[in-house]
Amino acid sequence: MAGYSIRKEDYIKRLRRIEGQVRGLQRMIDEDTYCIDVLTQISSTTKALQKVGLGLLDEHLHHCVKAAVAESDEAGNEKLDEAMVAIERLMKS
Amino acid sequence: MAGYSIRKEDYIKRLRRIEGQVRGLQRMIDEDTYCIDVLTQISSTTKALQKVGLGLLDEHLHHCVKAAVAESDEAGNEKLDEAMVAIERLMKS
Amino acid sequence: MAGYSIRKEDYIKRLRRIEGQVRGLQRMIDEDTYCIDVLTQISSTTKALQKVGLGLLDEHLHHCVKAAVAESDEAGNEKLDEAMVAIERLMKS
Amino acid sequence: MAGYSIRKEDYIKRLRRIEGQVRGLQRMIDEDTYCIDVLTQISSTTKALQKVGLGLLDEHLHHCVKAAVAESDEAGNEKLDEAMVAIERLMKS
């Protein structure tokens, strides 16, 4: 079971709102909205997405990674290495 | 007219694809997909959004800002200040 | 002449402070300072550096780019393309 | 003992190189180097700093956090919450 299962509904709700923002962006472009206003909306959408990412990472560390560390040193290291790759990727995106 | 008008269809197509990615994220969460895989998809969605932002900024500079600079020093400065705020916001998101 | 010339001293002063922060980081590592405190200092140093970058970009747009746009369409486009590459690089760093 | 102790010398060496880059930036400004070239150097310095940050975070997770998780659930959670704050800060800087 994924670590975020308990708050699943909350994540889906937030992603649905982000989906609405992306649809709003299409409408803005279609209606020739001023570039800077479109960029403001893009920044806010990106931030919302990254917040979801940070939330998932937090729960991943508190559940999957913690469980793996408790299981064995090897399992813990594997999960931590994998998490670091994800953190680096989030940082660059 | 917005600076990106000529490539309007291209932007809308890209945003539609991003909308699909966000819907895919909801499905992933709903199906308890492994956190790290969800995070990978979040990074790729964020990157796609930021690329749209950079594209819009590029056209904004080449059209609106250039036109304003040609018009008057004051108009040019105003547009450049506004663009800098947008750049800073994109950088932080 | 570079666009930032008027505020040259200000930039050098800020970079000297950043140099001091980087030297502080070496000392922290040497004294086995707690990781999280080192990371906090790294974040603040990175932010200070990026602020210098944004300041330089702002002056570059207001001086070099504006002058090039006033000179000719071709010169303006060249400078804007070059600035976009720098913006993209700053965004990813 | 900090988690990065074994590679302490390596980190100090990298930070010394970053210090040299920051000094180079001062020289560039002093010599009126073209803005875009200064910005390129700022991006590369920022990236180097963030790489040091990611390296420290990696060792922090593999040492301090793992040890805390092994100690008790409470100690583990505390360290993970603290690490998340640092990750979020690195992401925004």
Q: Tell me the per-residue pLDDT of A9-48, one tens digit each, with 9 for 90 and over.
A: 999 999 999 999 999 999 999 999 999 999 999 999 999 9
pLDDT > 90 in chain A, percent: 91
CA distance C88 to chain B (A): 7
Q: Do A33 and B2 touch (CB under 8 A)?
A: yes
pLDDT score for A1 = 62
Q: Do B62 and C77 touch (CB under 8 A)?
A: yes
Does residue C1 have a pLDDT over 70?
Answer: no
A76, closest residue in chain D (CA to CA): D66
pLDDT score for B83 = 97
Q: Do A62 and D80 touch (CB under 8 A)?
A: yes
Does residue D5 have a pLDDT over 90?
Answer: no
B88, closest residue in chain A (CA to CA): A43
State pLDDT tens for residues A70-86. Answer: 999 999 999 999 999 99
- Here the tokens at position B81 are 């200040």
C-chain CB neighbours of D11 within 8 Å are: 29
- Is C33 at the interface with chain D, CB within 8 A? yes
CA distance B13 to chain A (A): 9
**Distance between CA atoms of residues B46 and B42, nearest Å:** 6
Please give the C-alpha separations between residue A79 and each of A43, A57, A67, B35, D20, in angstroms, as whole numbers.
31, 12, 10, 11, 36
State pLDDT tens for residues C7-48. Answer: 999 999 999 999 999 999 999 999 999 999 999 999 999 999
The domains found in chain C, sorted by start residue, are 7-92 (1.20.58.1000)
In sequence order, what are the residues at sequence separation of 6 or more whose Cβ sits closer than 8 angstroms to the Cβ of residue D36? C60, C82, C83, C86
Mean pLDDT score, D25-43 = 97
Per-residue pLDDT tens digits of chain B, which is 93 residues long? 677 888 999 999 999 999 999 999 999 999 999 999 999 999 999 999 999 999 999 999 999 999 999 999 999 999 999 999 999 999 988
CA distance D23 to chain C (A): 7
Mean pLDDT score, C45-59 = 96
In sequence order, what are the residues at sequence separation of 6 or more whose Cβ sits closer than 8 angstroms to the Cβ of residue D38? C56, D25, D28, D29
A-chain CB neighbours of D3 within 8 Å are: none
In the numeric block, the tokens 């073209």 are attached to D34
What b-and-e string marks burial along A42-76, b requiring 16 or more CB atoms within 10 Å of the CB? bbebbebbbebbbbbbbbbbbbbbbebbeeeeeeb
pLDDT score for C35 = 96
Quick one: which of A13, A59, C14, C66 has its CA closest to B67?
A: C66
CA distance B93 to chain A (A): 5
Q: Which among A54, A58, A66 has CB closest to D69?
A: A66
Q: Do C93 and D46 touch (CB under 8 A)?
A: yes
D26 compared with B3, residue with greater pLDDT: D26
- Here the tokens at position B76 are 């040019």
pLDDT score for B1 = 62
Confidence of residue D1 (pLDDT cuts 50, 70, 90): low
Q: Do D61 and A69 touch (CB under 8 A)?
A: no
Chains with 3 or more CB pairs under 8 A to chain B:
A, C
- Is A90 at the interface with chain D, CB within 8 A? yes
pLDDT score for B5 = 82
CA distance B31 to chain A (A): 9
- Under DSSP, the state recorded for B90 is H
- Is B27 at the interface with chain A, CB within 8 A? no
Mean pLDDT score, D34-61 = 97
Residues 47-76, chain B: which have Cβ within 8 Å of A?
A: 47, 49-50, 52-53, 56-57, 59-60, 64
B70, closest residue in chain C (CA to CA): C70
Number of other CB atoms surrounding residue A8 within 10 Å: 13
pLDDT score for A48 = 97
Q: Structure pTM?
A: 0.94
